[in-house]
């Protein structure tokens, strides 16, 4: 009797863990989904040795595995984004100053009170300007 009760308990635990993983995978989107705004100052851009034209206010959107810049001007260049835990990997479809098309750039992300912050992921190519300022969720 003890053995069958133990078997039932283990089966129930495995079934609940499997259900949780399945439910999590079927949920639409990720915490990053939506629009975010941020501003890079000329000094922040210079300190990253990036193109000075990148200074300014931006609005970007994460939607269905894509990253799209909406402001200052909508850009045809997009990035595919894969989220795994607290890592976001960006693969841009076209190169531009400082970015190589097709190369994965991986960053750690964290959201607290609708503020998104980025940090480098050790040993991975990163987007240096992302870590300069927090991003704010746009409602």
| Predicted confidence (pLDDT) per residue in 23-38, tens digit | 333 335 789 999 999 9
The pair of three-digit structure tokens given for residue 112, joined into one six-digit string: 């607290």
In a domain, 131, yes or no: yes
Q: Which residues pair with 117 in a beta bridge?
A: 110
Range of the domain at 57: 34-138
In a domain, 24, yes or no: no
In a domain, 11, yes or no: no
In a domain, 13, yes or no: no
Query: Number of structural domains, the chain?
Result: 1
Q: Which residue has the higher pLDDT, 22 or 54?
A: 54
Say which CATH number the domain at 120 has: 2.40.128
- Alpha carbons 81 and 66: distance in angstroms, whole number: 5
In a domain, 9, yes or no: no
Average pLDDT of the residues of the chain:
80
pTM for this predicted structure? 0.74
In a domain, 111, yes or no: yes
Residue 76 pLDDT > 70, yes or no?
A: no
């Amino acid at each position: 009797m003890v053995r069958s009760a133990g078997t039932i308990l283990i089966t129930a635990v495995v079934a609940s863990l499997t259900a949780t993983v399945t439910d999590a995978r079927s949920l639409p989107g990720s915490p990053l989904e939506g629009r975010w705004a941020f501003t890079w100052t000329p000094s922040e851009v210079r300190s990253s040795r990036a193109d000075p034209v990148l200074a300014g206010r931006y609005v970007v959107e994460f939607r269905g595995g894509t990253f799209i810049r909406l402001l200052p001007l909508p850009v045809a260049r997009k990035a595919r984004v894969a989220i795994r835990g607290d890592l976001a990997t960006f693969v841009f479809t076209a190169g531009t100053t400082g970015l190589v098309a097709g190369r994965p750039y991986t960053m750690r992300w964290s959201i607290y009170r609708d503020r998104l912050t980025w940090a480098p992921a050790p040993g991975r190519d990163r987007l240096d300007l992302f870590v300069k300022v927090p991003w704010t969720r746009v409602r």
